[in-house]
Amino acid sequence: MSVAFVVTCEHASNAVPASEQALFTQAESALASHRGWDIGALELAHDVASAFGTDVVATEVTRLLVDTNRSERHRAVFSEYTANLDDATRAALLTGWWRPHRDEVERRVAAALLRATTVVHFSIHSFTPVWHGVERSVDLGLLYDPARPGERAFAVRWAAACRRTRPDLRARRNQPYRGTADGLATSLRRRFDAACYLGFEIEVSQRFHAASPSTWRDLRADVVTTLCEAADPLRP
């Protein structure tokens, strides 16, 4: 078996293109918050990519413009700032920002399968530790499809690595979201067979980024360590 790795970050930025600035004149606080982007996710994505010898495919605009981790017809692909735009304008946003990212990731996976028997895709995200006033009971999550044997086995190894590396962490499988919910990895599972494509979302609480530079640095290193341990049996 040979394996290749693809690392993506769908909510890497809270940037608004100059051409769309008028849509966000009252959105400064939303753009700066977890609603506008996944805080810290791009930094973690670069660490993961470096460990696995690849680079990061990242979305360069805020998810409030168009969400590249949602399917084209999902009700949340557009936010409250763009959902009420006319059909032509929304189509232009999909063409200009959503489709290039999705197509590039799919192209990377397909190209990797020309040189490897298996592709492991890590989609890197972060989440707010408090949701609707309730503190979440998870620090680190690995989202996957338990019906796909390769993904399930990887997740079991990852959970064991987390217990060894950071027993203090509340590391959970398929939390704080379901691994089979609408998302980029879910879409790619429909395109690529379970025998050759393993797709995961890595979800990290933003509390680590907010705590201190050393806390955030240590957490990122531990995420890389656990992913590498889980991936070791796949490597020749």
* CATH label of the domain that carries residue 50: 3.40.630.40
| Averaged pLDDT, 3-30 | 97
Among 95, 35, 101, residue whose Cα is nearest residue 68: 101
pLDDT at 71: 97
- CA-to-CA separations, 70 to 45, 86, 94, 184, 221, in angstroms, rounded: 19, 19, 11, 7, 28
Region 12-27: mean pLDDT is 96
pLDDT at residue 55, as a whole number: 98
The tens digit of pLDDT for each residue in 213-232 reads 999 999 999 999 999 999 99
Domain count along the chain: 1
235 falls in which pLDDT band (50, 70, 90)? confident
Q: Which amino acid is at 211?
A: A
How far apart are the C-alpha atoms of 10 and 75, rounded to whole Å? 17
Contact 174, 144 (CB under 8 A): yes
Q: Are 185 and 191 in contact (CB under 8 A)?
A: no
Q: How far apart are CA 229 and CA 128, in angstroms?
A: 27
- pLDDT (0 to 100) of residue 132: 84
Under the banding of pLDDT at 50, 70 and 90, the label for residue 194 is very high
- 236 has pLDDT over 90: no
Residue with tokens 């979305």: 59
The Cα 5–Cα 234 span in angstroms is 11
Sign of CA dihedral 65, 101, 15, 217: positive
Mean pLDDT (whole number) for 131-157: 96
DSSP reduced 3-state for 216: helix
Q: What residues pair up with 171 in beta bridges, in sequence order?
A: 140
CA–CA gap between residue 167 and residue 146 (Å, rounded): 23
Instruction: Name residue 120's beta-bridge partners.
Output: 5, 198
Full domain range(s) for residue 53:
3-234
Name which of 231, 229, 235 is nearest 166 in CA terms.
229
**Residue 157 near residue 165, CB atoms below 8 Å:** no
